[in-house]
Amino acid sequence: MNAARYGAAMGRKEREQASWIEDTQTEPLDVCVLCGREGEMTDHHLVPKSQGRRQGVKLGEIPTVKMCAACQGFLVKTFSNAQLANELSTVEAIQAREEVQKFVKWVQKQPLSRGVRVH
């Protein structure tokens, strides 16, 4: 190993330590694509994983969007996997649904911390 290379490796190590310190600070919050609330979001697969598999789409190739648990839960309970995969595979298509608009209007008034019953 030559000296320059060794120096580069050391530099990388220092950066890792610096980023570890940054990670302990508050991270910017994600925003739900449907209701716009900020907080911990989950990755919503625009094509349900089971449907993607059937269509030969690899899991890593399915586009995901940031969505809160309440909105995601609502979609899963309200629509079938086939509907989600075929009719609702874009955010625009999801937002165009009247049921979704009604739910979003309601859920926006709910605190994110509270679990929402979507039954």
Task: Kindly write out the interface string for residues 8-47 of this chain, putting x where it contacts Zn ion by CB under 5 A and - elsewhere.
Answer: ------------------------x-xx------------
Cα dihedral sign, 50-32-21-7: positive
In the bound state with Zn ion, the residue whose beta carbon lies nearer, of 55 and 95, is 95
Q: Would you state the structure tokens that stand for residue 106, as one six-digit string?
A: 């309601």
CA distances from 115 to 28, 51, 65, 72, 73 (A): 22, 27, 20, 12, 11
Q: Is 112 in the site for Zn ion (CB under 5 A)?
A: no
Phi/psi at 58 (nearest 5 deg)?
Answer: -70, 145
Q: Is 65 in the site for Zn ion (CB under 5 A)?
A: no
In the bound state with Zn ion, the residue whose beta carbon lies nearer, of 12 and 109, is 109
Chain residues binding Zn ion by CB under 5 A are 32, 34-35, 68, 71
